Structures are given as structure tokens and as C-alpha cells.
Amino acid sequence: MPNILITGTKSFVGANFRKFSKYKDVDEISLYENKPEDINFARYDIVLHLAAIVHQSKRITDNEYFRVNRDLCLKVAENAKKAGVRQFVFLSTLKVYGDIISDHYQRTENSTCFPEDSYGKSKYEAEIGLKKMENDNFTVSIIRPSLVYGVGVKSNMLSIVKLIEFFPILPLGSICNKRNFIYTENLVGFIDRIIEKKASGVFIAKDDDAISTTQLASYLAESLDRKVTLFKLPKFFISAGTFLLPSAFSRLFGSFDFDNSETKKILNYTPYYSTEQGIKKWVADFKSVKPSNNVKINFNFLGVFNIII
């Protein structure tokens, strides 16, 4: 069994990987407390790089995104390669493709990337730098996951759970978009297969089924045993909102749907849980052990749009 080093401690994905992966020789290290050149990479066969700055409510400078998500990543990979690490697994993002799209066009692993913000651009530039490092002795595996949910999540998915717990009526009815998500155990399965097959290239990790914002709210309400009425916004309101708040309304009504058939073909892996099953399993865990952190939600109408993916 390979020895694996996770770069980035207290990671939501890292915690789930250590819990659910079939690989058990796994260590973690903080890149806040350790410089890449001081890490003994020679002990490890594989590096799973999770350290990153993701989207945050507080202001993060563009320079900081690129310093951590690109420069630090490449420095880690450079030192790992020199020490004889055989495989570098990089958790990227679907944001490298750009923002939400309004139609149902499906992007693939080979679609052109047009990142539009510092988060997506910094991740994409890290991908480009990593690919240049790859050779016969150093495999680079790039994973672009959809929105991850599961035990320990503190992102927008948890905010939506809180929203449904607090509000019995929500303007989330009859939305016919398509969105991709991935349950943590499914993501771990993708990572395990990539390691097992020493797979090189770009992989899209997602649950098999795409669901709408309305379906997501319905699944969560059912799993939480909450009776929630989902009503449809009037067309004039949607038109006005799309004009005045295009980003917020695109998050609510837009599609972000991907075709990862190439990934599944290469890995010969099909996620075990559907999105509906994953949500039910996650919410059951959520109800049994309520998270201690308090998620702040804007209790106003626009707050609904701010937390939808």
C-alpha cells in the first residue's frame, strides 16, 4: 500500500479521505506551519494536495489567491518531485471553466477553460504549471470536483440546510436548471481509483445525476423532515432580477452541468451513491451530531440568492 501525504490540515475533504479511503497509510501536514522545502517528501509515494484558499465571504486579495493556490502548490510539487514522489493528486475546481451558464450545454474534461475570478484563475494556472512538471516518473492527476457535500461541510450546502430549517416558505419552486454535486464518499472513491490506476490527466468528479435547485431543496426538506412550500417567482420578477442582479439570479436559475463520461471510462468507476441518497445519508449524520459552528444567514429575500451555490 502506498504512503500518502495530504498537504493541508483540518481539510473537510482530507478528513473524509482519511475516514473512507481504502488507503490507510495517510499523513497530513500544515503548509502554514511548514515550508515545502522543509518537508521530508522522500517518505511518501503520493501527495494529495488539498491546501488552498477557496471562495470566502471576507475579502481576499488577488495576490493571496495566486500565492497560495498557484505558487505554493507548484513549490510543493517541485519539492515532492525532487524527493521521488511518484504521483501528485491536485484538487482543482470546476470554476476553471468560468461561471454558471444559462443553457444546458455540458462541458467535459476537454472543454476550453475561461476562469473569471481569482479563485478559478489561480487554480487553472496551477494546473498548467503541474502539467509541465509531469514525466514518466512523476504522474500528475488533476481533479475538478463539483460542489462537495457531506459530513463536516461548512460551505453553502450547510447554509441551505439552515435556510430550510428556518423558513417554511421559499421562492425555489419550478426551477428547471441542472446542477452537479458530489457526495464526499463518492469523491473519495474517485480519488482512490485515480491512485489505484496511477491515472494521469484531468478528471471531473461528480455524482451521476444532475439536479435542479428545486430538487435540491426538496431532497433536503424531505431528509430534514421539514414541510416546506416552494413557490415560483413571477416572470417579471425574474426578468427584473436578471437585469439588476445577474450574478445572484444566475446562481439560482442557471445551469452548471458537466459530462464526465471520459473520467468514468478511464477510471472504470461509478459513484456508489446518487445525489438523493447522498443527501439523505449526509442529513442523517447532520441530525445525529449537530455541528457546533454557527452559520450566519442573511434573513432577507436576497439572502436566498447569496447562498445558492
Q: What integer best gives the mean pLDDT of the chain?
A: 88
Q: Which three cell numbers stand for residue 201?
A: 490527466
Q: Please state the rounded mean pLDDT for residues 48-67.
A: 85
Strands (E), 112-236: 139-145, 147-149, 169-170, 181-183, 201-205, 229-230
Which residues lie below 8 Å from residue 215, measured CB to CB, with a gap of 6+?
none
Confidence class for position 159, pLDDT limits 50, 70, 90: confident
Which residues on adjacent β-strands are paired with residue 142? 90, 202
Confidence class for position 20, pLDDT limits 50, 70, 90: very high
φ and ψ of 265, to 5 deg: -70, -45
- Burial (CB < 10 A; 0-12, 13-18, 19+), residue 38, is exposed
Indicate the range of 63-67, 126-130, 230-234 predicted with least confidence: 230-234
- Residue pLDDT, tens place only, 254-305: 788 899 999 999 999 999 999 999 999 999 988 776 544 444 444 344 444 4
User: 283, 54, 308: which is closest to 150 by C-alpha?
Assistant: 283
Instruction: Give the pLDDT of residue 233.
Output: 85
Which residues on adjacent β-strands are paired with residue 7? 29, 49
- Residue pLDDT, tens place only, 80-112: 999 999 999 999 999 999 876 655 678 999 999
Which residues lie below 8 Å from residue 24, measured CB to CB, with a gap of 6+?
1
Which residues on adjacent β-strands are paired with residue 309? none
- Residue pLDDT, tens place only, 169-185: 988 898 888 999 999 99
Instruction: Give the pLDDT of residue 254.
Output: 78
d(CA 258, CA 229): 29
pTM beyond 0.85: yes
> In this predicted model, which residue has the larger pLDDT, 299 or 4?
4
User: 160, 181, 170: which is closest to 224 by C-alpha?
Assistant: 160
pLDDT at 126 over 80: yes
Instruction: Give the pLDDT of residue 46.
Output: 98
Please give the CATH topology (third level) of the domain spanning 4-213+247-306.
Answer: Rossmann fold (3.40.50)
Instruction: Give the pLDDT of residue 298.
Output: 44
Q: Which three cell numbers stand for residue 153?
A: 461541510
